[in-house]
Amino acid sequence: MRCPSCSHLESKVVDSRPSEDGAAIRRRRECLACGHRFTTYERLGDNPLIIIKSDGSSEAYDRQKLMRGLLIACAKRPISPEQLSSLIDSIETELRNTSRNEIGSKDLGDMALVRLAKLDDVAYVRFASVYKDFQNVEEFAAALEGMN
């Protein structure tokens, strides 16, 4: 959302509520650069999903990026790109059904992991090692045991 006052791209949402007809979300935003407050209307259904990263910054959800991560995790495993595509479809559907516009990168990783675990153990561990940000070896070992 570009600030109408100074064109800065980052703003925070200070209030959001459904519009009167329920087909959109009305958001009050505050520009992080100049503090200008403005209102946006976002249609439900075609909102870009925002990923909140662990350092607090955000970026637009990128299906291709998620797919790349999954393809790397599934290298040389008996999983087809079609299976990964439907895995991502399933995540996107769940997010749409809960009307979430924002999700933490770790939560998104978890949603992928739950689905990956059903497809392939090796791919699960590879993906987990990247996305779960394990604190220590014990935690990693516990996750491995949880797969059995």
d(CA 140, CA 80): 26
Near Zn ion by CB under 5 A: residue from 6, 9, 141, 147: 6
Closest CA to 84 of 67, 63, 105: 67
Going by C-beta distance under 8 Å and a sequence separation of 6 or more, which residues neighbour residue 142?
none
d(CA 38, CA 16): 12
Q: Is 31 a residue that touches Zn ion (CB under 5 A)? A: yes
Near Zn ion by CB under 5 A: residue from 36, 77, 106, 132: 36
| Candidate ranges 3-11, 44-52, 75-83, 98-106; the one touching Zn ion (CB under 5 A) | 3-11
Q: Is 8 a residue that touches Zn ion (CB under 5 A)? A: yes
Nearer to Zn ion, 3 or 87 (CB): 3
3-state helix, strand, coil in the chain (%, to 5): 45, 20, 35
Nearer to Zn ion, 11 or 105 (CB): 11
Q: Which residues here bind Zn ion, judged by CB under 5 A?
A: 3, 5-6, 8, 31, 33-34, 36
